[in-house]
Amino acid sequence: MKHNPTPHTTGSAGRQVSGLHFYTETIDAGRLSPLAFFEAGENEFAGRRFYWENRDKTLKLVGIGHAMTLTSDAADGRFADVRAQWQRLCSVLVKEEGDLPPVLFGGFSFDPENHPSDEWKGFPPAYFAVPQFQLAEKGGRTFVSINLVTEGETAAEDFERLRLICESMIHEAQVMERTPAQKPEVSALDELARSDYLEAVGEVTGRIRAGEAEKVVIARSVQLAFDEAATPSSILENLSAEQQESYLFGLESGSKLFFGATPERLVEIRDGQALTACVAGSIRRGKTASEDRELGEGLLHDPKNRSEHQYVVSMIGDVFRSFCEEVRIPAGPRLLKVRDIQHLFTPVEGIPNPDKDLLDFVEALHPTPALGGTPREAALPIIRESERMDRGFYGAPVGWMDSEGNGEFAVAIRSALLEGSGARLYAGGGIVADSVPEEEYEETWVKFRPVLRALGGKLNG
Ligand SMILES: C=C(O[C@@H]1C=C(C(=O)O)C=C[C@H]1O)C(=O)O
Ligand SMILES: [Mg+2]
- The contacts of residue 19 (CB under 8 Å, 6+ apart) are 92, 151
Q: Which atom of ligand 1 is nearest to the CA of 312?
A: 13
- The contacts of residue 43 (CB under 8 Å, 6+ apart) are none
Q: What is the mean pLDDT of residues 399-405?
A: 96
What confidence score (pLDDT) does residue 29 get? 85
Nearest ligand, CA of residue 369? Answer: 1
The Å distance, Cα 308 to ligand 2 centre, comes to 7
Name the band, by pLDDT with cuts 50, 70 and 90, for residue 315: very high
Please report the ipTM that was assigned to this predicted complex.
Answer: 0.99
CB 46 within 8 A of CB 38: no
Nearest CA to 259 out of 117, 370, 418, 118 is that of 418
Q: How far apart (Å, rounded) are the C-alpha atoms in residues 335 and 320?
A: 22
Higher confidence at residue 14 or residue 357?
357
The Å distance, Cα 411 to ligand 1 centre, comes to 10
Q: Is residue 41 assigned to a domain? A: yes
Mutation test of ligand 1: which of 279, 284, 312 has the most ligand atoms closer than 8 Å to its C-beta? 279
Q: Is residue 278 assigned to a domain? A: yes
Count of structural domains, the chain: 2
Q: Which amino acid is at 252?
A: E
Q: Is residue 30 assigned to a domain? A: yes
Mutation test of ligand 1: which of 295, 309, 340, 343 has the most ligand atoms closer than 8 Å to its C-beta? 343
The Å distance, Cα 74 to ligand 1 centre, comes to 27
What confidence score (pLDDT) does residue 180 get? 76
Q: Which atom of ligand 1 is nearest to the CA of 447?
A: 15
The pTM (predicted TM-score) of the whole model is 0.95
Q: Is residue 258 assigned to a domain? A: yes
Q: Which protein residues touch ligand 1 with a CB less than 6 Å away?
A: 217, 219, 264, 279-282, 308, 343, 370-371, 413-414, 427-430, 447
Which helix (H) or strand (E) segment holds residue 220: the answer is strand 215-226
Q: What is the mean pLDDT of residues 355-375?
A: 98
Q: Is residue 322 assigned to a domain? A: yes
The Å distance, Cα 428 to ligand 1 centre, comes to 6
Q: How far apart (Å, rounded) are the C-alpha atoms in residues 441 and 446?
A: 9
In the 8-state DSSP scheme, what is residue 211? T
Same domain flag for 261 and 240: yes
- 3-state helix, strand, coil split of the chain in percent (to 5) is 30, 35, 35
Q: What is the mean pLDDT of residues 78-103?
A: 96
CB 145 within 8 A of CB 100: yes
Same domain flag for 277 and 303: yes
Nearest ligand, CA of residue 448? Answer: 1
On the question of pLDDT at 8 being above 70, the answer is no
Of 175, 208, 240, which residue constitutes the final position of a domain? 175
- Exposure string of 55-73, with b = 16+ CB inside 10 Å and e = fewer, is beeebbbbbbbbbbbbbbe
What is the tens place of the pLDDT at every residue in 425-450? Answer: 999 999 999 999 999 999 999 999 99
Q: How many CB atoms lie within 10 A of CB 46?
A: 16
Same domain flag for 164 and 205: no
Same domain flag for 76 and 206: no
On the question of pLDDT at 6 being above 60, the answer is no
Q: Is residue 11 assigned to a domain? A: no
On the question of pLDDT at 16 being above 60, the answer is no
Of 175, 202, 236, which residue constitutes the final position of a domain? 175
On the question of pLDDT at 3 being above 60, the answer is no
Same domain flag for 158 and 69: yes
Q: For ligand 1, atom 8, name the residue with the nearest CA.
A: 429
What is the tens place of the pLDDT at every residue in 36-85? Answer: 999 999 999 999 999 999 999 999 999 999 999 999 998 889 999 999 99
How would you classify the pairing of strands 21-28 and 141-150?
Answer: antiparallel
Mutation test of ligand 1: which of 218, 371, 435 has the most ligand atoms closer than 8 Å to its C-beta? 371
CB 405 within 8 A of CB 269: yes
Q: For ligand 1, atom 11, name the residue with the nearest CA.
A: 280
Of 124, 152, 175, which residue constitutes the final position of a domain? 175
In the 8-state DSSP scheme, what is residue 18? -
The Å distance, Cα 371 to ligand 1 centre, comes to 7
Q: Which amino acid is at 259?
A: F
Q: Is residue 215 assigned to a domain? A: yes
Q: Which amino acid is at 341?
A: I
What confidence score (pLDDT) does residue 192 get? 86
What confidence score (pLDDT) does residue 193 get? 87
What confidence score (pLDDT) does residue 461 get? 62
Q: How many CB atoms lie within 10 A of CB 100?
A: 19
The Å distance, Cα 119 to ligand 1 centre, comes to 22
What confidence score (pLDDT) does residue 7 get? 39
Nearest CA to 419 out of 261, 189, 226, 180 is that of 226
Q: Which atom of ligand 1 is nearest to the CA of 440?
A: 8
Q: How far apart (Å, rounded) are the C-alpha atoms in residues 456 and 246?
A: 19
Using alpha carbons, list the distances in angstroms from residue 357 to 79, 283, 448: 11, 35, 33
Looking at 255-371, which runs of residues are DSSP E strands? 256-262, 265-270, 273-284, 324-328, 334-338, 341-352
Same domain flag for 153 and 297: no
CB 280 within 8 A of CB 445: no
Q: For ligand 1, atom 16, name the residue with the nearest CA.
A: 427
Higher confidence at residue 5 or residue 412?
412
Mutation test of ligand 1: which of 111, 391, 415, 447 has the most ligand atoms closer than 8 Å to its C-beta? 447
Same domain flag for 238 and 308: yes
Is 442 one of the catalytic residues? no
Which helix (H) or strand (E) segment holds residue 143: the answer is strand 141-150
Same domain flag for 261 and 398: yes
What confidence score (pLDDT) does residue 179 get? 77
Which one of the listed residues 264, 268, 308, 443 is annotated catalytic?
A: 264
Q: What is the mean pLDDT of residues 299-313?
A: 97
Dihedral angle sign, alpha carbons of residues 122, 128, 132, 133: positive
What confidence score (pLDDT) does residue 430 get? 98
Q: Tell me whether residue 30 is exposed, middle or buried, using C-beta atoms within 10 angstroms of its C-beta: 0 to 12, 13 to 18, 19 or more.
A: exposed
Q: For the chain, what is the mean pLDDT?
A: 94
Which one of the listed residues 215, 256, 337, 447 is annotated catalytic?
A: 215
Which helix (H) or strand (E) segment holds residue 239: the answer is helix 232-242
What confidence score (pLDDT) does residue 49 get? 98
Q: Which atom of ligand 1 is nearest to the CA of 429?
A: 8
Range of the domain at 448: 186-454
In the 8-state DSSP scheme, what is residue 326? E
Is 215 one of the catalytic residues? yes
What confidence score (pLDDT) does residue 9 get? 41
**Residue 324's CATH number:** 3.60.120.10
Same domain flag for 160 and 133: yes
The Å distance, Cα 332 to ligand 1 centre, comes to 18
Name the band, by pLDDT with cuts 50, 70 and 90, for residue 18: low
Mean pLDDT lowest among 4-13, 170-179, 212-221: 4-13
What confidence score (pLDDT) does residue 388 get? 84
Q: Is residue 201 assigned to a domain? A: yes
SS3 308: helix
Same domain flag for 250 and 137: no
Half-sphere exposure for 182 (CA within 13 Å, toward CB): 9
Same domain flag for 232 and 152: no
Q: How far apart (Å, rounded) are the C-alpha atoms in residues 310 and 335?
A: 14
Q: At what angle do helices 194-209 and 437-454 cross, to 10 degrees?
A: 130
Nearest CA to 211 out of 433, 447, 455, 4 is that of 433
Same domain flag for 379 and 319: yes
What is the tens place of the pLDDT at every residue in 139-175? Answer: 889 999 999 999 877 888 999 999 999 999 999 999 9
